A and B are shown apart, each in its own frame.
Chain A
């Protein structure tokens, strides 16, 4: 069945025509070439495909595109040129958060969602905020430190 679904991605209006059960991640990666959105587990467990839907972090691999009609989707590509996005990306680079990098777009989106709702998180809040994002390289500590760095450097940006 073909449905017409209208939504916005990184501020740009998008119209999807096709099977409404198509996974949001496939629309983002294949149709819109937003390949910063990574597929890890494909089951909503690893967080690599995390995007922000209407202000809330979600895993795009288990959301059918038919469920995003009228929604605003934000991907790593949509935040990297904003002040908040740059702050996070710079902090991740400076803090040495990145090894293989596959989990990082999802990590940055999770950190973005966290700091946007909690500008001054405790370490526990940070670990909880990225608890749905799995990294097989770093052991998480440098990612947590980098998010703390983004909090310090960003200051009012997150308030």
Chain B
């Protein structure tokens, strides 16, 4: 059983991380459950742990001058869902996590660091090309979240690094879509989730992206499939739709109930693109 530390500043936490390799524990909604031992017993971890929930340096949600939004690693889904500066896709995902108490305890840093294929926040963040800021005694590193999450429960986090924040670059979409499919409306782990967005000007699709959650070992964006749609005209959507859906289907790799996940993903993407083709009003496609 490893030691447990409670650093009171980020600098102290970085020293502990570098010297002992202690893993950060914030909300505990994943780690405390994974290592639980039962009534009256404290969880045990086979590695040293540091409780970082008190670190002020990792709090807060800020809008920068360039329009990007930075979310501190300790921001909870409740704070994220209630923030009017956080982009819509991310607020939707945060609002759909667990139930009230979980949304008050969990953290964005934990949701990313745990890298569960069913984690709700990485999906919209990867759609929005978010960066993750990693900090260590060596300094700060900025990295695309899509590159940081390597696979199921695997990240590129180094032994001396801590997730400090997530930065979402500015964007303005003409059309947005978000859907989480779970067994219930509360306390549901995602069976499947999808975000999509498009920028359309004068009939031309200037930007198009999608991100599939719970459809493979990590969130899936297929940049080559997106390129089939990007740059086309709205009236050409029917012509390229099948090819796009085919390419997206080839990119995802759902491990269980693959027919269901593939079919539902196809239907959601088709619905989003057909709505654009059919002249849907700009805004949220529901």
Residues of A bordering B, CB below 8 Å: 1, 3, 5, 19-23, 26, 30, 39, 42-45, 47, 50, 53, 56-59, 61-64, 66-67, 69-70, 110, 113-114, 128-129, 131-133
Which B residues are in CB contact (< 8 Å) with A66? 4, 6, 51
A26 to B284, CA, bound (A): 46
Name the residue in B53, B100, B102, B185 with the highest tally of chain A Cβ atoms < 10 Å from its Cβ.
B100
A131 near B185 with CB under 8 A, answer: yes
B28 near A62 with CB under 8 A, answer: yes
Q: How many residues of B contact A (CB 8 A)?
A: 34
Interface flag for B14 (CB, 8 Å): no
**Residue from A67, A113, A133 within 8 A of B28 (CB atoms):** A67
A26 near B6 with CB under 8 A, answer: no
* A-B residue pairs, 5 tightest by C-beta: A132-B99, A131-B186, A62-B32, A56-B104, A66-B51
B6 near A3 with CB under 8 A, answer: yes
With A45-B187, A67-B28, A131-B186 as contacts: A50 and B101 at CB distance below 8 Å: yes
With both beta carbons as reference points, the residue of chain A lying nearest to B32 in the complex is identified as: A62
With A66-B51, A129-B100 as contacts: A30 and B36 at CB distance below 8 Å: no
User: Given A23-B32, A113-B100, 12 other A-B contacts at CB below 8 A?
Assistant: A21-B44, A26-B40, A26-B42, A42-B39, A44-B29, A56-B78, A57-B101, A58-B101, A59-B105, A63-B28, A66-B6, A69-B54
**Residue from A21, A45, A57, A69 within 8 A of B49 (CB atoms):** A21
Which B residues are in CB contact (< 8 Å) with A62? 28-29, 32-33, 36, 105
**Residue from A39, A56, A67 within 8 A of B53 (CB atoms):** A67
A26 to B36, CA, bound (A): 13
With both beta carbons as reference points, the residue of chain B lying nearest to A18 in the complex is identified as: B42
Interface flag for B240 (CB, 8 Å): no
Which A residues are in CB contact (< 8 Å) with B4? 1, 3, 19-21, 66
A84 to B187, CA, bound (A): 27
Which A residues are in CB contact (< 8 Å) with B29? 44, 62
With A67-B51, A132-B102 as contacts: A23 and B3 at CB distance below 8 Å: no
Which A residues are in CB contact (< 8 Å) with B46? none
A132 near B100 with CB under 8 A, answer: yes
A64 near B54 with CB under 8 A, answer: no
With both beta carbons as reference points, the residue of chain B lying nearest to A53 in the complex is identified as: B104
Interface flag for B98 (CB, 8 Å): yes
B105 near A1 with CB under 8 A, answer: no
A1 to B45, CA, bound (A): 13
B39 CB to nearest A CB, Å: 6
A36 to B43, CA, bound (A): 22
Which A residues are in CB contact (< 8 Å) with B33? 43-44, 62
With both beta carbons as reference points, the residue of chain B lying nearest to A45 in the complex is identified as: B187
A23 to B105, CA, bound (A): 14
**Residue from B51, B99, B101 within 8 A of A20 (CB atoms):** B51
Residues of B bordering A, CB below 8 Å: 3-6, 25-26, 28-29, 32-33, 36, 38-45, 49, 51, 53-54, 78, 98-102, 104-105, 185-187
**Residue from A20, A43, A47 within 8 A of B6 (CB atoms):** A20
**Residue from B39, B42, B99 within 8 A of A131 (CB atoms):** B99
Which B residues are in CB contact (< 8 Å) with A21? 4, 42-45, 49
**Residue from A5, A39, A69, A132 within 8 A of B101 (CB atoms):** A132
A53 to B43, CA, bound (A): 21
B48 CB to nearest A CB, Å: 9
With both beta carbons as reference points, the residue of chain A lying nearest to B186 in the complex is identified as: A131
With both beta carbons as reference points, the residue of chain A lying nearest to B5 in the complex is identified as: A1
B238 CB to nearest A CB, Å: 38
Which B residues are in CB contact (< 8 Å) with A133? 99
A44 near B102 with CB under 8 A, answer: yes
A26 to B39, CA, bound (A): 8
A66 CB to nearest B CB, Å: 4
Which B residues are in CB contact (< 8 Å) with A1? 3-5
Which A residues are in CB contact (< 8 Å) with B78? 56
Which B residues are in CB contact (< 8 Å) with A58? 101, 104-105
**Residue from B25, B43, B49, B104 within 8 A of A23 (CB atoms):** B43
